[in-house]
Structure 1
Amino acid sequence: MFQLRFKGLMKNAVRNKFLKWLLVFLLLNIYVPAFSQTKAERKIDSLLKVLPLVADTQKIGIMLRLASLTSKSNQEKGTEWALKALTLARKHKNETQMNSAYYKIAMYSKTSGNFEMALKYADSSLFLTKKDKDEKGIAQVYNCYGTIYVEMENYPEAIKYYIESVKIKEKLNEQEGLANTYLNLSSVYNRINLLDKSKEYLLKGLQLFEENKNYYGMAGARNTLGVLYNREQNFKKAIEVFNEALKISDSVSDKNLESALTGNLSESYFGLNNFKKAEEYGLLSYNLRKELGDLSGIAYSASELSSVYLKMKNFEKAISYANECLAYSEKSDYAEGRYIGHKNLAEANEALGNYKEAYAFLKLSIEDYETFKLVESQHAIAEVEGKYQLTKKETEIQLGKERMKSKDTEIKKQNQLKIFFGIGAVLFALAAIFILRSYFVKKKSNKIILKRNAEVEMAKAIIEEKQKEILDSIYYARRIQRTLFANEKYIERNWIRLKQGKV
């Protein structure tokens, strides 16, 4: 009796538990999709509802916003919205919004691998930006050119445009844009194996992103730093940096960045022979790239997963992902992907005892290897050319600095000479003024002296004339006196005579 009751209770409990979990499952299926929408998706939905209700001029701005939002998950959709915005902007002759559309189409076309279209729209954007004399905009378009040429593996041109962008941004003190271009330069130096230079620019960019609290930039910079650690086979440090970047990337909700980070983490764990973790992150990256429609990214993720499953001896999955790798490598012209796909198919079929198929795939992998090596050789040539152009550019910059320094020294000397001659001229002028003043003073004094001398001479002449007249008068009086009065001696002599009776 007790056993029957116990069994009945157990059946009810199991039934109730099953009903409980079934209810939870149904509720999750009903409500979770609504909550699982990202902030970007909710924003897209709200913009799509508003779009039919507004005038054409407002539609352009909404379409450009939709282009930015949709491009984060689907580049082709982003391009479609940008082209629609461009059509309306042209209709209303709104050059500012036309320029914005040109720039977006150039960037999205580059990501989709349509480089001819990317360069065409970048040219249109640059034309309008230069027309407006918008230096910040010109720097942004130069940066766009750099990213296009990187994808085209024309590293010398990429370096040229990045450096032009940096010059303008440094002049304008445009820190966030400057940080992005530093990161782009770091990426180019990484590709041409100048790892120290790459790390130098990377850390410059990271510092600016952190100062400006730019979380997208902080995550992107850490992703690039992790790639450098992977290349140095410092996988533990790479994993640490990638995980930091993933935490930061949660706040920006960018699937492109997330797909790159998870793919790089898969590579790091593969390097440490942790194939379970490599599979986990490889699948995350693969699924994200599928959502994005990133053809070369899908091919790369499929090649990684195929290699992981070979190591795990899961040959069926290794073959499946190798075939997918080949399909997407053909679509994106990914030479290394074709080589890895055929090589992995050969190894998997050999392990399964399918020697005929293994031999056929091995032959194809050898052919692919030759093509891949040719591409690698072209990459090596581009790398050497990039290093040469970099050295040339740095030499030009150094020579420019030296010329500027020499010019500054020359200008300084000229300024010193000008100052010297200026002081000399002033002193000469002062001396001339002093001499002339002395001359005129002396001349004036001489005139006064001559005048006074003349006056003295005249006075002297007058005095002498007066004196002569006085003397003449005296002499004349004396002559009269002498005439009228007898001489004293004569009187005395006659007096004596009279006394003596001689008279």
Structure 2
Amino acid sequence: MFKSLIMKFIALSFLCILTALNGAAQKRVIDSLYKDLRFKKTDTDRAVALYNLSYYYQNFKPDSAMFLAKEAYNLSKKRKFLRGESWALSSMANAFHALHNYPKAIEYFIEQLKIEEKRNIPENIGSTYLSMALVYNSEKDVRKALFYALKADSIAKVNKLPELALFAKLNIGDIYEKANQLGSAMVYSHNAYELSLLQKNDQITGVALNNLGNIYFKRSEYGKANDYYRRSIPFLKSSEDYNNLAECYVGLAKVFKDQHNPDSAIYYAKNAYKLANDNEFFAKAVDASALLIKLYKSNGKIDSAFVYQEIMITLTDSIDNKERAKEVQSITIAEELRQKEIVEAHEKEMEERRQKLQLLAIGILIPIFFFISIFLSRRKVNKKVIEFSGIISLLMLFEYLTLFIHPFVAEKSHHSPFIEIVVFVIIAALLTPTHHKVEHWLIGKLSKIRERHIEMRQRAIDELETDKED
């Protein structure tokens, strides 16, 4: 019992030291990103800086990533910065993916997809499909994961997008492998490997070779599995992909275990555990420690098996606690976002109401100006004042019409400045002659009213003078 407590204490202490060291490095990067944000002046630049912060926070603090991305989204939407909106939605979706809230992740990826379809950039549409495929794969919905991954692959093929094709084929191979459809998995993983060589992408070369090792291991072709695993190691090391390298070491350990070579199996399982633990890939560390327990037990080394069992329990508890915390975080964040959206909707409603009231006020003011013009025309006022009043009334009317139809034009043109300019030039071309005709008609009418009233006034004066003479 005492030994068990000591082992738990050592394991927890080791995890705390690693977390502290990693935290110090993270703080330096975050401080640098916040410093960059402070120097940004325009809304679009601030939106990009906020997205960069959000992207960095995604893996270890998804709640912060979420709120930073939301702020970036609001700024981007305010400035009609579609690229910024898309990035922010992607960041929010990835944060929900990290929190294992898959429905919310899909919801935000769909919103991103709508924007990318407006922008009509095939590579971005394909990338969004691929992100959705990864969420469905995490949810173990193989059918939908393949549907979206294959759509991404199709877009890559039609539009000749080699990088998208590479990632699509790699992920399709991985989806098939996890679903134990090994024939299809092998075809796509080989394609990904060949494309990675052409594109000189060492990391993907290493991942594809590791995936092929997994496939051949499941087929019990241990010689080929061993070969692919070993070939992946230098690529994964050079690209510092320690997560997949740990998986590769676990794969090699399993190969040697099934080939009844316990010493080599223990060697690679230990390497996998150390690498995963040092880099905080705790799920891989659990896989490696579980394998070491089996290996030591089969060799009769109960003490060593017990050590790794205690480590595995500690790691599993840590992972379970993190998963529960993620679930709570996900619910909390979803509710906070909902409340924020309610506030934003209310503010938007108030702004729209304010604008409508202003339009109503202007609409009421225009006929008042017309009545003032008519009133002035009946009084002894300079003709130019009447003409000026009439022109102002007409200008307000036509500007009011332009202001009134602007939201409709903006919505239908998807806020495209070019389309808006063309539409308003056409409207101006139609309204300008009408404006001039109405202006001449109105001024003429007001002048006639003025002249008639002057004549009537003069006649009245003449009649009074005649009466006086009589």
Contact 1:245 1:261 in 2 (8 A): yes
> Partner of 2:184: helix, strand, or coil?
helix
Residue 89 of structure 2 is matched in structure 1 by 142
Assess if the C-alpha contact under 8 Å between 2:256 and 2:265 holds in 1. yes
Corresponding residue of 1:324: 271
The equivalent of 1:432 in structure 2 is none
Cα distance in structure 2, aligned partners of 1:91 and 1:380: 36
Equivalent residue for 2:207? 260
2:136 aligned partner? 189
The aligned counterpart of 2:255 is 308
Answering whether residue 179 of structure 2 is matched by residue 232 of structure 1, we say yes
Deviations 1:98-144 (A, max 9, x none): 5444434433543x545355435434532432232112431232123
Q: Tell me the number of residue pairs that the alignment of Structure 1 and Structure 2 aligns.
A: 307
C-alpha displacement of 1:290: 4.0
2:37 and 2:50 in contact (8 A); partners too? no
CA distance 1:108–1:257, change in 2 (3 Å): farther
Q: Which has the larger radius of gyration?
A: 1
**Is this contact kept in 2: 1:183–1:202, CA < 8 A?**
yes
- Cross-structure match for 2:221: 274
Partner residue in 2 for 1:155: 102
- 8 Å CA contact 2:186, 2:212 repeated in 1: yes
Check the 8 A contact 2:262/2:295 in 1, yes or no: yes
Aligned equivalent of 2:193: 246
Given residue 250 of structure 2, which amino acid in structure 1 is its aligned partner?
S
Residue 167 of structure 1 pairs with residue 114 of structure 2? yes
TM-score relative to the length of structure 1: 0.51
Task: Give the letter for the 1:194 counterpart.
Answer: D
Structure 2 residue 154 is matched with structure 1 residue 207: yes
Q: Which runs of 5+ in 2 are unaligned?
A: 1-23, 330-470
Q: 1:257 to 1:78 in 2, by over 3 A?
A: farther
Counting aligned pairs with the same residue, the percent is: 22
CA contact (8 A) 1:83 1:105 kept: no
1:91 equivalenced with 2:39 (yes/no): yes
**5+ residue gaps in structure 1?**
1-75, 383-503
1:106 maps to 2:106: no
Instruction: Give deviations 1:266-295, integer Å, cap 9, x for gaps.
Output: 211111122233233334444444444445
Q: Structure 1 365/192 Cα, relative in aligned 2: closer, same or farther at 3 Å?
A: same
* Comparing 152-161 and 231-240, the one that deviates more: 231-240
Residues 287 and 169 of structure 1: CA distance in aligned 2, closer, same or farther (over 3 Å): same
- The amino acid of 1:322's aligned partner reads A
Supply the AA of the counterpart residue of 1:165: Q
Q: Please give the residue correspondences for 1:445-460 in structure 2 after superposition, counting only pairs within 5 Å.
A: none
If the length of structure 2 is used for normalisation, what is the TM-score? Answer: 0.55
Q: Secondary structure at the match of 1:250?
A: helix
Tell me if structure 2 keeps the 8 A contact 1:79–1:109. no
Distance across 2 between alignment mates of 1:210 and 1:216: 11
- Aligned twin of 2:450: none
Partner residue of 1:501?
none
Could you tell me how far apart the structure 1 residues matched to 2:258 and 2:131 are? 34
Q: Is 1:223 matched with 2:170? A: yes
In structure 1, distance between residues paired with 2:199 and 2:49? 23
The Cα shift of 1:301 comes to 3.0
> For residues 79 and 199 of structure 1, do their structure 2 counterparts lie closer, same or farther at Cα, with a shift above 3 Å needed?
farther
Distance in 2 (alpha carbons) for counterparts of 1:174 and 1:316:
53
State the alpha-carbon separation in 2 of the partners of residues 367 and 166 from structure 1.
Answer: 41
Whether the 8 Å CA contact 1:102–1:124 is kept in 2: the answer is yes
